[in-house]
Structure 1
Amino acid sequence: MTDLHPVRRALISVSDKTGLVDLARELADMGVQLLSTGGSAGLLREAGLEVTDVAEVTGFPEMMDGRVKTLHPKVHGGLLALRDNESHVAAMEDHGIEGIDLLIVNLYPFEETVAKGADYDTCIENIDIGGPAMIRAAAKNHAFVTTVVDVGDYGLLIDELKVNEGRTSLAFRKRLAQIAYARTGAYDAAVSTWMAAAIGEPAPRRRVFAGTLAQTLRYGENPHQTAAFYTDGTARPGVSTAEQHQGKELSYNNINDTDAAFELVSEFLPANGPACAIIKHANPCGVARGGTLREAYMRAFDCDRTSAFGGIIALNRPLDGETAEEIAQIFTEVVIAPGADDAAKRVFSRKKNLRLLTTDGLADPATATLTLRQVSGGLLVQDKDNGRIDMDDLRVVTTRRPSEKEMADLLFAWTVAKHVKSNAIVYARDGKTVGIGAGQMSRVDSSTIAAHKAQRMADELGLAETPAKGSVVASDAFFPFPDGLLAAAEAGATAVIQPGGSMRDDEVIRAADDAGLAMVLTGMRHFRH
């Protein structure tokens, strides 16, 4: 392969015209001949640049509403010809094909069209055909052709040409070829994913996922692991779309935990009052409602002060100065909220290592999205757990019915349990968690750990008794035996919410009645692994 190759002739066909005129002017000043199509050619002419229409080169006009304009041998021959192959050169001469040394293309805005909720036919018309074909051709022939598909690479292109006196290096062309193939791959992935949903295909034979690099990370979960963060192009409020106001760059673990925190707090609508979730290692260590945002934070913090140190805090309302003052009392990694006022930002400015993120909204828990997990040799793909229940979904199975207060706490505890690693047990009272048991192999152990945390909370706060007394308990899956239920009763819980469905449900219900517990079944499980 030739290392430095001159750029004498460029083909420009872009949907996004950002920076186009400045780029073309730089190229023209270097003596590069410009070929272009449609709107791109018109814009360049308006700027006073000399442009040759592709239709003049091919001898065919654009036709079929622009569907056919670059699919022609004089275009693809110019992109694909090997300049050092005698038969290729002879074919070019025989058929009047001139080489194209630089291709600048960005594609029809298919992803944006889908995101706007356009109808099926409109989405189909925004599938680019000629663009990907040219990109693939040029990228394949990177020995001689430079391919630019991102507006962000215009400056790099000009710098490369200036350094090398109108030529590009092989290393540069290889790098841009990889970027080009990634772009067409992501584009095709977007089309196939949209079409699968449009035709109601839940498990297509082949599934492709794509992302755009948001940042390279210092390391992964541990310092010996390399990592990067990619976004998927959705506009869902959260860590991927948030604005970072201060603090050092987010780490792999920060991003993972912040996402978990924000997804949990988004379950609590702002209209129903302030709420706060504190996350540590992807598990909630305290969740609470409050009359004010400050109160919600303090109540969540008091659930497990030890674990909250160095945690992630998510709020369902914009952060205010008073709440920020309380949060600033201990070391916190990240605070994420729909917004933050100037007073809060001033408070946090004194904490240089604290990251403050704002999202301009909450994530909709009901949105249908996919989750992915890699296993050896494949991917597990499923719908996001957006299952929710309300009062009408509950079935009381014990002699004693829950009181109105217990029912409110049961629904609160159930909402939190959905976001706790299985096996999950959550004790709650008065709109706050008082003990959380997460990620245990035994549900009894989760019950015991949650009760232990409640007692530790009592000891730290100087309470006369454990706050588990008079609490309710939520279990993310059924109790296979009465032992886990009885452990909760011994801790002081008075009411239970669980999915039901065990072969021993009748035995568990009898145990609840004997213990004087009220119990409701949801019929819905929330395993989280």
Structure 2
Amino acid sequence: MAVVSKNHPAPELVRIRRALLSVSDKTGLVEFARRLSALGIELVSTGGTAKTLATEGFAVRDVSELTGFAEIMDGRVKTLHPGVHGGLLAIRDDADHRAAMEAHGIVEIDLAIINLYPFEQVLTSGADAATIVENIDIGGPAMIRAAAKNHAYVTVVTDAADYDRVADAIEANAGSIPLRLRQELAALAFARTATYDSAISGWFASNLELEAPRHRAFGGVLHDVMRYGENPHQQAAFYKTVEERPGVASATLLQGKQLSYNNINDTDAAFELVSEFDPGEAPACAIIKHANPCGVATAATMVDAYRQALACDPTSAFGGIIAFNRELDAETAEEIIKLFTEVIIAPSVSDEAAAIIARKKNLRLMATGGLPDPRQGGMMVKTVAGGLLVQSRDTGVTTAADLKLVTKRAPDPRELADLVFAFRVAKHVKSNAIVYARHGATVGIGAGQMSRVDSARIAASKAQEAASSLGLAQPMTRGSVVASDAFFPFADGLLSAIEAGATAVIQPGGSMRDADVIEAADAAGVAMVFTGMRHFRH
């Protein structure tokens, strides 16, 4: 049964006479307390916060004076008391609440400045389970929620970024805070505790390997507000989660204007793809357009990897996103600025390369400090009408040892290396995906088609266009290998690839007509291997 409200109207202004300060992160605390003290506001505090303020010379009242009870159990119990929560939750205009406060010696708390134990930071630090659990805050969220619920009379501050705004408001309103600000801060407070609890519940689910917990919460912290979303009439913002994974969310923007919604989506796709290739083995470059690769290559040098990736589809690469698995060097930077590019992302950037890219002031340059591990798990979330689709990240990585030969002819060593390369690229191409590759570089990509045979034909057509633009006598698909992200349901897709010049094929297998497809490959003298793993990407 729902609780019935007494419908006391919230006052427009509330005088701030007493503030409770209980913070784990003490950034900006002393200056904020100084401004509050100068306004004649009584300071009440707890534990380490009280010691910090007392050391700075503030007159501070310990919370135990309000509760009549000392902190116990290593500080686990100190604010969970009617002396605190009564002061936060009391409806000031309610006679019964007033009488209860007087009967029990409860004083009003008008301003609550509270931030939480650093659970998220401890979670990502590699701490053991006991330490992680110990950093679950109980009293803090309880006080924040109490103050936020009673925002008609109480102001709650959970972020140091709001200290100046609150102090300015008190000074501008003769010691009071307006309702609108109290409402805004209450909204922030509930979002903060929700995000905090989502990190805790997510950790438990992960630690206990619960694949589908009954309730699933997700939270994030605002990183940037976009000018618009995919289209100008859509609103968008970028939120960071607790996941520690090098990429667009963790990257430093070294130069260039703010990334757009589409830039972020494409940059993430590019960096995740290029991270499939071990930087210790060879430099790799991926060029992305609309979340699909238009060229990927590995080579002996970074600049050669870029040139070969660009050669796959130089038309589509215009205005694209370029990702590298190693530090961006000067020679490669000189090549890149010859073409209009939206974003470059790499683990690091040499000083010489940064100076070269600076000639293009609008070109966004990002350094991540590392590469994500393609085998590292994590959750992926997609919204649908009325719900969320949640799945684990595609961590499948296929090696030569995983392949099953199904044709009479086996791939030669060059074909085998290219098959593994092509299948790793296909993992990052929108389904239905077809990828032609030769000598560690893509030479034709077909993405997002309703039929696999259309993807094969489009990839071959794009390869023909690229050959024409490069002045080649024939497309680079001649003598290439081909990868399919899922099985060939019929032999027609395979035959299209063979017609384009593919001599070896990699695919998951598993079709009812596998035998027909294998027979077609054998008839053409083509080598084919099965992976047993599908990589649909929608």
TM over 0.5: yes
Map 1:442-461; keep pairs closer than 5 Å. Answer: 442-461=451-470
8 Å contact kept, 2:283–2:302: yes
Is 1:473 matched up with 2:482?
yes
Give the superposition deviation at 1:152. Answer: 1.3
Match of 2:286 in 1: 277
Match of 2:33 among 24, 39, 46: 24
Cα distance in 1 for partners of 2:166, 2:244 equals 30
Give the superposition deviation at 1:235. Answer: 2.3
Match of 2:185 in 1: 176
Cα distance in 2 for partners of 1:234, 1:429 equals 36
Match of 2:517 among 503, 508, 516: 508
Give the superposition deviation at 1:53. Answer: 0.8
Match of 1:370 in 2: 379
Cα distance in 1 for partners of 2:378, 2:207 equals 14
Is 1:224 matched up with 2:233?
yes
Q: Secondary structure at the match of 1:503?
A: coil
Match of 2:307 in 1: 298
Q: Secondary structure at the match of 2:312?
A: coil
Cα distance in 1 for partners of 2:284, 2:397 equals 18
Is 1:154 matched up with 2:147?
no
Match of 2:401 in 1: 392
Deviation digits for residues 384-437 of structure 1 (CA, Å, limit 9, x no counterpart): 001011111101110000000000000000010000000000000000000000
Is 1:416 matched up with 2:463?
no
Cα distance in 1 for partners of 2:244, 2:110 equals 37
Match of 1:259 among 244, 254, 268: 268
Please identify, of 9-18 and 155-164, the stretch whose mean Cα deviation from structure 2 is larger. Answer: 155-164
Deviation digits for residues 353-409 of structure 1 (CA, Å, limit 9, x no counterpart): 110111111111111111011111111100000101111110111000000000000
Q: Secondary structure at the match of 1:271?
A: coil
Gaps of 5+ in 1: none
Give the superposition deviation at 1:200. Answer: 2.2
Match of 1:119 in 2: 128
Letter in 1 for 2:371: L
Match of 2:317 among 298, 308, 320: 308
Match of 2:145 among 114, 136, 160: 136
Cα distance in 2 for partners of 1:354, 1:123 equals 41
Cα distance in 1 for partners of 2:390, 2:138 equals 29
8 Å contact kept, 2:86–2:101: yes
Give the superposition deviation at 1:245. Answer: 1.4
Is 1:430 matched up with 2:439?
yes
Is 1:84 matched up with 2:93?
yes
Match of 2:54 in 1: 45
Match of 1:103 in 2: 112
TM-score, normalised relative to structure 2: 0.97
Superposed CA RMSD: 0.9
Give the superposition deviation at 1:295. Answer: 0.8
Q: Secondary structure at the match of 1:363?
A: coil
Give the superposition deviation at 1:93. Answer: 1.3
The number of residue pairs the alignment matches comes to 529
Cα distance in 2 for partners of 1:274, 1:27 equals 56
Map 1:184-199; keep pairs closer than 5 Å. Answer: 184-199=193-208
Match of 1:357 in 2: 366
Give the superposition deviation at 1:136. Answer: 0.5
Letter in 2 for 1:487: S
Cα distance in 1 for partners of 2:131, 2:350 equals 41
Give the superposition deviation at 1:122. Answer: 1.7
Match of 2:80 in 1: 71
TM-score, normalised relative to structure 1: 0.99
Deviation digits for residues 11-65 of structure 1 (CA, Å, limit 9, x no counterpart): 1111111111111111111111111111111111111111111112111110111
Give the superposition deviation at 1:194. Answer: 0.7
Match of 2:5 in 1: none
Deviation digits for residues 305-344 of structure 1 (CA, Å, limit 9, x no counterpart): 0000000000111111111111001110000011111221
Letter in 1 for 2:383: Q
Cα distance in 2 for partners of 1:90, 1:328 equals 74
Letter in 2 for 1:523: G
8 Å contact kept, 2:508–2:530: yes
Q: Secondary structure at the match of 1:90?
A: helix
Match of 1:234 in 2: 243
Letter in 1 for 2:526: L
Match of 1:495 in 2: 504
Q: Secondary structure at the match of 1:11?
A: strand
Match of 1:521 in 2: 530
Cα distance in 1 for partners of 2:244, 2:253 equals 16
Give the superposition deviation at 1:92. Answer: 1.1
Give the superposition deviation at 1:116. Answer: 1.5
Deviation digits for residues 85-111 of structure 1 (CA, Å, limit 9, x no counterpart): 122112111211110000011011111
Letter in 2 for 1:65: D
Match of 2:343 among 334, 341, 346: 334
Q: Secondary structure at the match of 2:528?
A: strand
8 Å contact kept, 2:199–2:242: no
Give the superposition deviation at 1:234. Answer: 2.2
Cα distance in 2 for partners of 1:199, 1:245 equals 39
Q: Secondary structure at the match of 1:103?
A: strand
Cα distance in 2 for partners of 1:125, 1:350 equals 51
Please identify, of 358-367 and 254-263, the stretch whose mean Cα deviation from structure 2 is larger. Answer: 358-367
Cα distance in 1 for partners of 2:200, 2:324 equals 35
Cα distance in 2 for partners of 1:10, 1:362 equals 45
Cα distance in 2 for partners of 1:6, 1:170 equals 11
